[in-house]
Structure 1
């Protein structure tokens, strides 16, 4: 993990550990009650080297077929890259996926039981990341699919342990949602390409942990880490004949065409500094 991904957590932890004296003068802290706030930080995703575009050549809805030439060779033998293509061949290289900042607003409620704090929190915001995968054919040509998160949210449970001075490490997990926007690009000008479900609802789950510190009766700061998996896969591109000759690999399939899809898992991670006003 790069330093700029963990720096927000380090800064928040340092501030939290330095400020317990500003919590309630009695030396005890009460977390019970509702709160609202926001978070800001960094989002990234795992390297998807090894991910491939997938093909359905017989219109059975199963994407495990191979596009072949008239000689029976794999028409996509040049390979793939885990990013956006820079040219028609793998030798041109590809651009890395975009990891970026993100922000979220939240509302929640905590209940304290001795030193144990349990609660629930709902978040929504933006994660400015994009995830591409490119495949290369022997034509030569590239075929590229890209995902971007329009907006995302989650509903999580939290379970923590508070010190008398108001520092609370916790674990968290729950339901995640994202509105995902998909796009397609290629330099193949012969076949036709029709996109379906460009925007899809991606449901999944999230888990992680963090630390929060009360700096006054009504204000807390913290940092948290989340790993999130979204389940996607509705998006597809149907390939038609277009102006391609009869020997075109997409035309000599059992169905006379093909559909293109990609993997159905979209994993992201984030570290964020959090602030909350507590009622």
Structure 2
């Protein structure tokens, strides 16, 4: 949150400074290519948990029960990876990482109004995990890692001299790697997901770009990305006869995380060359 506020303050300051210049708008029409570098992090989701399908009917929300009939996961959940398989409070937060990539686009200028489209490919490293704790005791962690983003966005801005504050938004597709880990050695755990690791969604943000020459500009940008990621599931099978995961259906119990949204914040610097 502090990073978001700092980025917003920096963008606002640059925009205000450009407005104060009250210059005639520079010419922004034309094609451009550029590079971006910055930092991305996962939006907090403290109420996320793991849900179960004990009868394998495709509907999640069943309660996994011990031999005595109590909730096997009464110990709770945490948003992150665990450092202790017995305590939900021993969890680390989700991880962010650096971002870098390339973009290309085209702008059209109508007076002070500048409208354009751009395509972008970004390499990133953002991790999002959720952990469940059973009465065994054992921990079960479902994790996803965003390795890359492709985006196609529109943007609209208001040119003041050599400075262009703008808003931007459009389509995004993420390359997500899923993983599962557990301290449970009695059961077998298998990925039963049907689709690939591509997640689709959208982006929205804003920024400011400033020309340092007629052809070269520098910028600062904030982006919010939301990806739909609801396909990853893991099946617990085997183990002792009549155990918690096979007492309802002998084939096992499926795990899935409650949140199908992978939400990412990013602050980036950009350098652009215009033709």
TM-score (norm 1): 0.90
Deviations along 1:219-268, one digit per CA (max 9) or x if unpaired, are: 11111111111001111111111xx2223100102454111111211100
SS in 1 for 2:197: strand
1:16 to partner: Cα distance: 8.0
1:12 to partner: Cα distance: 7.1
SS in 2 for 1:189: coil
Deviations along 1:75-133, one digit per CA (max 9) or x if unpaired, are: 10000011101121116601111112211210010000111100001111112111111
Query: Corresponding residue for 1:2?
Result: 2
Query: Corresponding residue for 2:38?
Result: 41
Are positions 1:60 and 2:64 aligned together?
no
1:203 to partner: Cα distance: 0.2
- Alignment gaps of 5+ in structure 1: 21-25
Alpha-carbon spacing, 1:214–1:266, altered in 2? closer, same or farther (3 Å): same
Distance 1:139 1:120 in 2: 54
Query: Corresponding residue for 2:189?
Result: 193
The structure 2 residue matched to 1:216, chosen from 206, 213, 216, is: 213
Two-structure CA RMSD over aligned residues (Å): 2.4
The structure 2 residue matched to 1:227, chosen from 221, 224, 227, is: 224
**Is the 8 Å Cα contact of residues 126 and 147 (structure 2) preserved in structure 1?**
no
Distance 1:51 1:92 in 2: 14
1:2 to partner: Cα distance: 2.2
Query: Corresponding residue for 1:23?
Result: none
**Is the 8 Å Cα contact of residues 213 and 220 (structure 1) preserved in structure 2?**
yes
Query: Corresponding residue for 1:86?
Result: 83
Are positions 1:155 and 2:113 aligned together?
no
Query: Corresponding residue for 2:237?
Result: 240
1:169 to partner: Cα distance: 1.0
Query: Corresponding residue for 2:245?
Result: 250
Query: Corresponding residue for 1:271?
Result: 267
1:277 to partner: Cα distance: 0.2
- Alignment gaps of 5+ in structure 2: none
TM-score (norm 2): 0.91
Which one is further off, 107-116 or 122-131? 122-131
